[in-house]
Structure 1
Amino acid sequence: MQDKKYRILVIRLSSLGDIILTTPVLDVLKENYRNSEICFLSKQRYQGLFESDPRVDSVIYFEPEGKDKGFSGLLRLIRGLNQKKFDLIVDLHSNLRSLLIRLLVRAGKKVHYNKKIIPRLLMVHLKRWKVKPVSTIDNYLESLGEMGIKAWSRIPRLYSKNENKIWVENFFIENGLEKKEILIGIAPGARWETKKWELDKFFSVAKSLSQDLPAKILLVSDKDDQKLIEGIENYVGKGRTIQAIDLPLGRLILLVERCDLFISNDSGPMHLASALGVPTIGIFGPTSLGLGFSLSGLEDKVFWTGVECSPCSLHGEKDCVKESRYCMDNIKPEKIIEEAKRILSANKVIFLDRDGTITEEKDFISKVEEIKFLPGSEEALKIVQGLGYKLVIVSNQSGIARGIMTVEQVEKVNNFILKELAKEGIKIEAIYYCPHHPDENCDCRKPRTGLIKRALRDHQLKLKGAWVVGDKLSDVLLGKNIKGESILVLTGYGQETKQKIESDSNGSDWQKPNYMAKNLLEAASFIESERLQKSGGSKPNSSAGIQEKRERRA
């Protein structure tokens, strides 16, 4: 008989960006409560965010202007929630409504997040008083800290709905977008007028990028900002723009997911694009990054001038009292265009584990003599290098912290690997490794993204369309964490990892690799096959086994 599910209610009623920033909490809850059911409570207007999310088992919508209107409606909602018999309530809103829900809905454990309103107010009203920046994501995660839970992910992530994909394909065909054509999303709106960058600057950016690259521009807004969209379209030209106005979230997610780059004011669509793994340029003016609502994607770029009067309010709602909006005036279109072109010119990349993937698995390799390349690994690297991918090795080497080997020994082994592969014409851009013990809770131990951050800092790489290949669960989760594709190879610890995943009846789909392969050579052949299919060519998969795994794609 199956054990009773641990029922968790997560509360965040609004707004779009704030709800998206809660998603790292979902990762942590699913990892720490394996036999759980997560129910998310939000307002009806955000329907479509979580319907295809493997971490969320059900969504309950609060309708304050409809059936849940007034105090009686709220009590009706609370009675319905009590019938669910939750074990844990996680309140990530901490306003009056969520407080009443948290107090009146029965649960064995209740936690809530600290808004840290005092530091935020100090940033606004006492700017000379140096206050430690606030991170909304970290605040959300800290709400779980009293239960002894540690997070391996702090990057927001959303999932698209397969049922909408045919509609999206037809939508782009009708709008004349070719499969290989660059698509740049632009969201010129925002809730508050003071948060909107000047429209003529969006004109310049959209026209320059559409002509120079060339690219098509996806214009995203709700109906309130439709005139902004029409203005940009008239300036750039209807043949170079596609309108996406007031679409259901489920459809908008797939449209934005297709973008190669997204440019936006500080708004909900900005966070949505980032959570979908689209490199995002965020334009901040009257609000400050330190208030906690900045972008968190590894490739994202924020433009904020940091003028002395910013932030002038918590959310950008206050009218500007200066003779000019210096916080926005000082952000020049030329800088946005330059950054956009830099992002779009980055190289595609494959991140590879070292031991058990390229070389034979041996715990804590400290000598060059212990290195043996797995059969077919060199051929595999040649295949993917020939496809134009940059190759980067990322490896956990906790033997250093355990005192089993030294940094010098690891460096010597890595240099040997680089030289041996170079003899075969294989260029590895770099080998990055984490020297820390698993208990140190560092940022660089896979599946955390510290090693990836270093690679992005040192090399011009793009994560959209990136692959992570390795033999451990940490490699699979790293792929999820950077919103890339993951392949579990069955060499090294691969068979053991496969058995662990398949035997875990409480494991969620989001913890499974996108694909499995017998070895690195088969993984490379599969990546080649995928590239050919996307480019209109065809090549049979390397084996029936990987085809079966392809059907299990997460």
Structure 2
Amino acid sequence: MKIGIIRLSSLGDVVLATAVLKVLRQTYPRSEIVFIVRSQYAGVLKNNSYLSRVIEWKEGESFKALAFGLRKEDFDVLIDLHSNARSRSLTVLSGAKRVITYKKNHVSRRLALLRKSKPPGLHVVDRYLDAVKLMGVDTSGAAPAMRPDVDDIVWADGFLLENDYSGGLVVGIAPGARRKTKMWPAQKFAEIANELISSKNLSVVMVGDEADAEVGNKVLEGSAQVINAIGQTDIGRLSALLSRCDAVVSNDSAPAHIAAAVRTRAAIIFGPTIEEFGFAPYGGGGIAISRDLYCRPCSLHGTVRCPEGHFRCMEEIGSEEVFEAVEKILEEAPNF
């Protein structure tokens, strides 16, 4: 049997979708399992032994070409873990014998935005797993997982050593996010970095892509001892570096999910979004930090500026509270 899985983007969502791979392979050990993803996120699936292969939708390749390619695959089952207009079109055009689509909680999320309430609902990972249950898959113990390869681990270890790491604990910080309102203020990241370095005698490494350079520089202005890896990692190297951390502090963004996928616990800071949208730490993978305010949630994915003009959801979260969460992670079980 040939099984296809569609999750085209984005980085964090593709990471969460990896939860279905091991349990699918356990149920269908002789099947060909193929993952369809945008090429810029294919690094998530690098070194994944549960996949037969990956089909990358390359930059500049037309939607028509992708659809034609999928039709030639002649899938027995196509699992749509994206569930938008584009992915649904792909399932139709593919001619797959059976299509399974995961159920988004669009209505409850939209109602939560209107009512400023917390919607009942499953974690996104559990929604993905519910989709594969329709194939008779036992999803017990399933969780997102990435396995950094040896070259990336060697790079991560070398990078730390080149930046005066001399052993001991390492805490990662990820101050970036795709939208500004999802970003805890840079000076607060600097504050917690300074507190961790001075009181715990540990190393702090800052991660992110090139788009995070501006916020990263602001953190460095307030905490010069931070090891700066922003813009120096692809997905594989980022996963390896986070696997070498004993804890991570992140906004509600992809590094938090990558940390969990390599079994490193994270303190995740939620502002305009809420944990109940389905992106909280999964399976003991961290601690969620947020404020109950009359205006939350105000957005599904964050915005350019605070609609209320005060940004209280982030400003009221102090570095002391986040420090305590990191302490708890380090004392209890950095890796779960």
1:199 equivalent to 2:199? Answer no
Q: Deviations over 1:384-420 (max 9, x none)?
A: xxxxxxxxxxxxxxxxxxxxxxxxxxxxxxxxxxxxx
Equivalent residues of 1:219, 1:243 under 8 A apart: yes
Q: Paired residue for 2:208?
A: 221
The match for 1:376 is: none
Report if the CA contact (8 A) 1:205-1:337 is conserved: yes
CA distance in 2, matches of 1:154, 1:310: 31
Residues 1:101 and 2:90 are matched in the alignment: yes
Structure 2 Cα separation of the partners of residues 318 and 235 of structure 1: 24
Distance in 2 between residues matched to 1:126 and 1:47, nearest whole Å: 37
2:323 to 337, 361, 366: 337
CA contact (8 A) 2:246 2:334 kept: no
Distance 1:463 1:269 in 2: 16
Distance in 2, matches of 1:34 and 1:43, equals 26
* Residue 309, structure 1, aligned to residue 300, structure 2: no
Residue 43 of structure 2 aligns with which residue?
48
User: Residues 262, 131 of structure 1: CA spacing in aligned structure 2 closer, same or farther, 3 A cutoff?
Assistant: closer
Match of 2:281 among 295, 298, 310: 295
Worse overlay, 260-269 or 144-153: 144-153
Identify which of 164, 174, 187 aligns with 2:162. Answer: 174
Quickly say closer, same or farther: Cα 1:299–1:51, change in 2 above 3 A. Answer: closer
Paired residue for 2:57, among 58, 62, 72?
Answer: 62
Count of residue pairs brought into register by the alignment: 336
Aligned counterparts, 1:149-188, within 5 A: 149-178=137-166, 180-188=167-175
> Which of the residues 277, 294, 306 maps onto 1:320?
306
- In the TM superposition, residue 90 of structure 1 has moved relative to its aligned partner by 0.5
Deviation at 1:235, TM superposition (A): 2.1
2: CA distance, partners of 1:88 / 1:61: 18
Shift of 1:97: 1.5
Q: Summarize deviations over 1:190-236 as a string: whole Å, max 9, x none.
A: 01101111111111101110111111111111112212212222322
Structure 2 CA distance, aligned partners of 1:46 and 1:143?
22
Matched letter for residue 208 of structure 1: E
What's the counterpart of residue 275 of structure 1?
261
Q: Deviations over 1:150-184 (max 9, x none)?
A: 31124211111123233233222211212x32111
Provide the rounded CA distance (Å) in 2 between the counterparts of 1:215 and 1:231.
21
- C-alpha distance after superposition, 1:129-158 (max 9, x if no partner): x74134211211122233343311242111
Question: How far apart in 2 are the matches of 1:253 and 1:221?
Answer: 11
TM-score with structure 1 setting the length = 0.58
Compute the displacement of 1:299 (Å): 4.4
Tell me the secondary structure at the aligned position of residue 191 of structure 1.
coil
Partners of 1:194 and 1:310 in 2: how far apart?
12
On the 8 A contact 1:51/1:59 being kept in 2, the answer is no
Judged with a 3 Å threshold, the aligned counterparts in structure 2 of structure 1 residues 134 and 124 are, in CA distance, closer, same or farther, namely farther
Shift of 1:56: 1.5
Deviates more, 1:84-93 or 1:138-147: 138-147
- The residue type equivalent to 1:103 in the other structure is V
**Distance (Å, rounded) in 2 between the aligned partners of 1:325 and 1:9:** 42
- How far the C-alpha of 1:463 sits from its partner, in A, is 5.7
Partner in structure 2 of residue 133 of structure 1 = 121
The answer for unaligned runs of 5 or more in structure 2 is none
Bigger RCO of structures 1 and 2 (CA < 8 A, at least 6 apart): 2
SS in 1 for 2:86: helix
What displacement does 1:324 show?
Answer: 1.1
How many Å separate the matches in 2 of 1:26 and 1:118?
Answer: 28
Report deviation, 1:103. Answer: 0.5
2:68 partner amino acid: R
8 Å CA contact 2:4–2:33 kept in 1: the answer is yes
User: Match for residue 350 of structure 1?
Assistant: none
Within 2, Cα distance between the matches of 1:154 and 1:122? Answer: 29
**C-alpha displacement of 1:246:** 4.8
Counterpart contact for 2:180–2:304, Cα < 8 Å: no
Partner of 1:20: 15
Q: Distance in 1 between matches of 2:136 and 2:268?
A: 34
Answer yes or no: is 1:30 the counterpart of 2:18.
Answer: no
Shift of 1:26: 1.1
Rounded Cα–Cα distance in structure 2 between residues aligned with 1:226 and 1:242: 10
Contact conserved, 1:38 with 1:58, CA < 8 A, in 2? yes
1:263 counterpart SS class: strand
**Alignment check: 8 A CA contact 1:8 1:37 kept:** yes
Kindly tell me: are residues 199 and 164 of structure 1, through their superposed partners in 2, closer, same or farther at Cα, counting changes over 3 Å?
Answer: closer
User: Aligned partners of 2:136, 2:55: CA distance in 1, in Å?
Assistant: 28
Q: What RMSD, in angstroms, separates the aligned Cα atoms of the two structures? A: 1.8
**Rounded Cα–Cα distance in structure 2 between residues aligned with 1:139 and 1:40:** 18
Cα distance in 1 between the residues matched to 2:205 and 2:2: 40
What pairs up with 1:412-451 in 2 under 5 angstroms?
none
Change (3 A) 1:319 1:99: same
The gaps in structure 1 that reach 5 residues or longer are: 1-5, 347-461, 465-481, 483-554
Give how far 1:317 is off. 2.5
Aligned partner of 1:319: which letter? R
Distance 2:209 2:47 in 1: 23
